[in-house]
Structures are given as C-alpha cells and as structure tokens.
C-alpha cells in the first residue's frame, strides 16, 4: 500500500503495520466490505441531512457542495502528539509575541531579524493597531496550524492561520459521525475526545473579556451572513457555545459599548468572535462601503470596551512571506530552536530566489503571499507547459506577491474505496485556543485528504475531503 518512497502512516515505508493502526487493522479485517460500503453511504447521507456544506467561489456561479467524508480514521499515537503539541504551543506563543511587538516596540525589526519592509509594505498590517493592547495581551485567540508529514518522525508547518481559521465544525462533526457509525470501534480503542472544544472555546473567549465587563461575559459570533462559504460553521459554533449569532446590522455602538439588538433592547457584548475580515469590520475605519461590520467598533475596541477575537491585524503573522521568517521569529521570542520546522521557502521578492524559482518552476509549488484555499497557486510537477508559461508571466510582473517551496512527499493515509483501502495524501490542521489562562490544543484536528490518486491538493474547494483524526490515549 505504500507508494514508493512516500511514507504511509498505516504501513510505514516497508509494508509493516505501524502500532497506532494495529487495533484498527484487526477490526477492519473482521468487517464485511458490503457493510462498510453501506456505512460510507450512511455517513454521506448524515452530512447531507445535517446541512454540512460549503460554498465554492471563483466560478461563474457560486455552488454549494458537500465535503466528502472518508470513514477510515487517521490515527496518531500519544507520543507523536506530545511532540506535535509542544511544537504547536511554542509556535503559537511566538506568533502572539510577534504581534504584540510589531504593534508595539518593534524590537525584532530594530534587531535586524526581519526587514522593515516585510511589515511596512504588508497589506495585512494595520497601522490602526499600533499601541493597542488587547485584553490579556492575546491577539490570536483561535489559531489553526497546518502540518504535513514526510516521514516517521518528520513533520513540517505548511502554514499558520492566525486570522479566522475555519474547519473546526468538520472536526467535531467527523467525530460525531464516526461515533454513530462505529461505536464498537471506539469501545476497543482509547481515543482522546474532541467534543469539549465548544465549551473550551466559550471559556477561553470569556477569559479574554475586557475590563469593562460587568458580570459573566457576553459572547457573540459575528458572521457575514448565510452566503458566506463557512456560514454553517459560524451558526454551528454559536449554537454549540450557547452564544448569539449576529450580523453587522444587529449591532451598534451604545454608550461606548458594542451592543446587540435583543427583545429587551440593545444589550452590551463583551467578546465578539468575528468571522468577518479586517477590511469589512468597521466602515468608519476601514472599507467605507462595508455592510458587514459595525460603524465605530474599532474606536470601542481601542478604548478597551470590547474584545475582538482574533484581534484586527493578526493577518500580518500568517502572511506567507512572513512565514519564511518564522524560524527567526520563534527563536527571537522564545530563545529556543523551533521544535517544528518550516518548509524551505524561496521569497520571490529577492532577485536570487526569483531567478532560481523561474529556472525550476516545473519542480516547485508557487503560492500567492496572501492566497488561501488552494487558489492562485502553481503545482509545478502536475502543471501543463501552458500553465507554467502563464504563471511565469504573473511571477515576473509581481514577484513580491509570491513565495515558492519544494514539492514535498506528503504522507499518505488509507481511504475506503470499492476495492478496499487505498493511500491518499493528507495534511492536518490542529486547532489552538489562547487566553491569559494558557494554551489549549484540541487532540487531533482536521485531516484534509486528497481523494484523487496521486493528488497533493487537499483543499475542500479543490475537491479534497476530510477524515476523523484520532489521537490515542497513552
């Protein structure tokens, strides 16, 4: 089942079953394939009935799709998870310290560890945040760290998501579905739970309430509305947390506080978990045409009247050009070498790097600095000559807009097919909660899987699917 030199998480590289999968393999061999095919169809139907869909943009019409779900779990040992969680925590602490510094004393720039233009010319940097100290010193309340695996003990950080990381609802629903489909499998395998994420999120956000809070903190989720691709998740998390789901038109500034419309008049909000981009958050301070935000919310925020999670301006920390400096950032703020390594990265804004990338486009992955969702990128080994020629022109006209990375041999995990188990490439997005009380990492996260044989693109918007991620108990 292992594809050449590619590391398979179930079978290793030498066809020897790996320990984390031993109980699953015993169970799988006992199963009637017909029953499993029925269960796969039942799982798909469950997702359809629950309404777990997302919108795909970039076509002539936006279309709503079901994210394919695969019933074979991805299994991680307690030992592997311990190393990962230490590396994730170290990285998240460094990101938060970096944001506090960039919007404060800018010591990292003064020390020459990161060029000033990397910040000054960064469209995600918000001058309005300079000198603003969020409640508890937390900028990134919810973080998603995208990881890839290339060998038994080799993980890399592919991307940091410090703005509004999505996908946690799929992590929760994937587990719920598996528990419903295969209770007997959980009875014989000790898997760490993920179901307490909503209560952990509520508690973590509440711990970040501003000094203006009077009594138990009121938490609300700000959504752009039903046409947003992640609306299902916004509504799901608000419901699971017992928080209000609000849109911009439900909110207004009243007596120096942001308040939401209720049947008893306008009531103040203490913490706003916003799923609206910076530019649309406040038409008085950012995009004047925005209908999604709240006029004046930034003034209330700067005065300490509300906590916005994540803080405005956090995008400067997950920009792909800044990503290339993350090893220096981790070392600068923690005094330690990074536990989790970056993927080697060429910054196309640098002439030598650009020359190398242009000479090797057919072998590299090239990404937009501010891109997401798998859009605006070139995967050299699978691109046509025409694709490469067109991308070369884009790269030459705006080199500072791109970074490039080698094509990694992403690990594979089995998926269930009509012919049995077959390996497919995966990545992993663990979810991290940050508050003054500490850092909480949910054991597991969202595993995204490329359903096409040989494909390295796992994004749901590009045809990928998801799996339940199991972290075993010790």
Q: Where are the domains of the chain?
A: 1-125+138-189+319-342+410-474, 344-407
Q: Find, among 396, 408, 410, the residue nearest to 363 by Cα.
A: 408
Give the pLDDT of residue 1.
39
Q: pLDDT tens across 262-311, in order?
A: 999 999 999 999 999 999 999 999 999 999 999 999 999 999 999 999 99
Give the pLDDT of residue 52.
67
Percentage of residues of the chain with pLDDT beyond 90: 81
CATH number of 344-407: 3.30.1490.270
- Per-residue pLDDT, averaged over 360-376, amounts to 80
Q: pLDDT tens across 405-451, in order?
A: 998 889 999 999 988 999 999 999 999 999 999 999 999 999 999 99
- pLDDT over 70 (residue 249): yes
Give the pLDDT of residue 157.
97
Tell me how far apart the alpha carbons of residues 417 and 430 are, in angstroms, rounded to a whole number.
Answer: 26
Angle (CA) 449 452 455, round 5°: 75
Give the pLDDT of residue 2.
40
Give the pLDDT of residue 373.
55
Angle (CA) 420 466 7, round 5°: 60
- pLDDT over 60 (residue 45): yes
pLDDT band, very low/low/confident/very high, at 62 (cuts 50, 70, 90): very low
pLDDT band, very low/low/confident/very high, at 459 (cuts 50, 70, 90): confident
Give the pLDDT of residue 5.
80
Q: pLDDT: is 459 or 275 the higher one?
A: 275
Predicted TM-score of the model (pTM):
0.92
Give the pLDDT of residue 77.
97
Give the pLDDT of residue 58.
44
Contact between residue 385 and residue 394 where contact means Cβ atoms under 8 Å apart: no
Q: pLDDT tens across 1-25, in order?
A: 344 489 999 999 778 999 999 999 9
Q: Which of 58-65's residues contact partners 24+ apart within 8 Å by CB, and which partners?
A: 58/375, 58/461, 62/227, 65/460
pLDDT band, very low/low/confident/very high, at 396 (cuts 50, 70, 90): very high
HEC-encoded secondary structure of 186-215? HHCCCECCCCCHHHHHHHHHHCCCCCCCCC
Give the pLDDT of residue 371.
65
pLDDT band, very low/low/confident/very high, at 319 (cuts 50, 70, 90): confident
Worst-scoring range by mean pLDDT, 116-120, 257-261, 436-440? 116-120
| Tokens linked to 456 | 């390295």
Give the pLDDT of residue 376.
74
The overall average pLDDT reported for the chain is 92
Q: pLDDT tens across 27-43, in order?
A: 999 999 999 999 999 99
- pLDDT over 60 (residue 456): yes
HEC-encoded secondary structure of the chain? CCCCCCCECCCECCCCCCHHHHHHHHHHHHCCHHHHHHHHHHHHHHHHHHCCEEEECCCCCCEEEECCEEEEEEEECHHHHHHHHHHHHHHHHHHHHHHHHHCCCCHHHHCCCCCHHHHHCCCCCCHHHCCCCCHHHCCCCEEEEEEEEEECCEEEEEEEECCCCCCHHHHHHHHHHHHHHCHHHHHCCCECCCCCHHHHHHHHHHCCCCCCCCCCCCEEEECCCCCCCCHHHHHHHHHHHCCEEECHHHEEEECCEEEEEECCEEEECCEEEECCCHHHCCCCCCCCCCCCCCCCHHHHHHCCCCEEECCCCHHHHCCHHHHCCHHHHHHHHHCCCCCCEECCCEECCCHHHHHHHHHCHHHEEEEECCCCCCCCCEEHHHCCHHHHHHHHHHHHHCHHHEEEEECCCCCEEEEEECCEEEEEEEEEECEEEEECCEEEECCCCEEEECCCCCCCCCCHHHCCEEEEEEEECC
Q: pLDDT: is 61 or 36 the higher one?
A: 36
């Amino acid at each position: 089942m292992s594809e050449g030199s590619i590391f398979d998480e179930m079978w290793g590289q030498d066809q020897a079953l790996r320990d984390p999968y031993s109980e699953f393999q015993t169970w799988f061999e006992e199963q009637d394939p017909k029953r499993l095919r029925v269960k796969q169809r039942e799982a798909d139907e469950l997702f359809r009935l629950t309404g777990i869909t997302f919108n795909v943009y970039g076509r002539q019409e936006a279309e709503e799709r079901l994210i394919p779900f695969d019933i074979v779990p991805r299994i991680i040992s307690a030992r592997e998870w311990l190393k990962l969680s230490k590396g994730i925590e170290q990285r998240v602490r460094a990101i938060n310290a970096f944001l506090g510094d960039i919007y404060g004393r800018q010591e990292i720039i003064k020390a020459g560890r990161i060029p000033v233009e990397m910040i000054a010319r960064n469209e995600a940097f918000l001058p309005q945040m300079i000198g603003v100290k969020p409640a508890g010193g937390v900028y990134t309340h919810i973080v998603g760290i995208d990881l890839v695996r290339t060998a038994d003990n080799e993980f890399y950080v592919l991307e940091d998501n410090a703005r509004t990381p999505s996908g946690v609802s799929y992590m929760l629903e994937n587990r719920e579905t598996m528990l419903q489909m295969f209770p007997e499998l959980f009875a014989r395998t000790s898997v760490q739970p993920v179901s307490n994420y909503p209560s952990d999120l509520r508690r973590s956000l509440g711990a970040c309430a501003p000094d203006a809070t009077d009594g138990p903190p009121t938490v609300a989720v700000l959504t752009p509305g039903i046409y947003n691709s992640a609306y299902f998740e916004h509504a799901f998390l608000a419901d699971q947390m017992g928080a209000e789901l609000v849109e911009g038109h439900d909110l207004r500034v009243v007596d120096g506080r942001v308040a939401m419309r209720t049947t008893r008049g306008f009531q103040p909000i203490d913490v706003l978990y916003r799923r609206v981009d910076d530019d649309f958050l406040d038409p008085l301070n950012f995009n004047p045409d925005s209908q999604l935000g709240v006029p004046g919310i930034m003034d209330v925020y700067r005065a300490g009247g509300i906590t916005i999670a994540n803080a405005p301006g956090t995008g400067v920390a997950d920009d792909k050009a800044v990503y290339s400096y993350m090893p220096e950032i981790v070392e600068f703020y923690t005094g330690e070498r990074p536990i989790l390594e970056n993927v080697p990265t060429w910054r196309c804004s640098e002439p030598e790097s650009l020359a190398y990338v242009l000479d090797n486009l057919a072998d590299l992955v090239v990404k937009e600095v501010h891109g997401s969702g798998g859009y605006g990128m070139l995967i050299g080994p699978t691109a046509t000559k025409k694709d490469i020629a067109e991308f070369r022109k884009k790269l030459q006209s705006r080199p500072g807009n791109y970074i490039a990375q080698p094509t990694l041999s992403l690990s594979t995990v089995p998926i269930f097919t009509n012919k049995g188990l077959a390996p497919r490439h995966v990545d992993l997005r663990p979810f991290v909660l940050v508050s003054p009380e500490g850092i909480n990492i949910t054991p597991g996260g969202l595993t995204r899987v490329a359903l096409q044989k040989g494909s390295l693109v796992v994004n749901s918007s590009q045809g990928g699917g998801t799996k339940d991620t199991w972290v075993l108990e010790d």
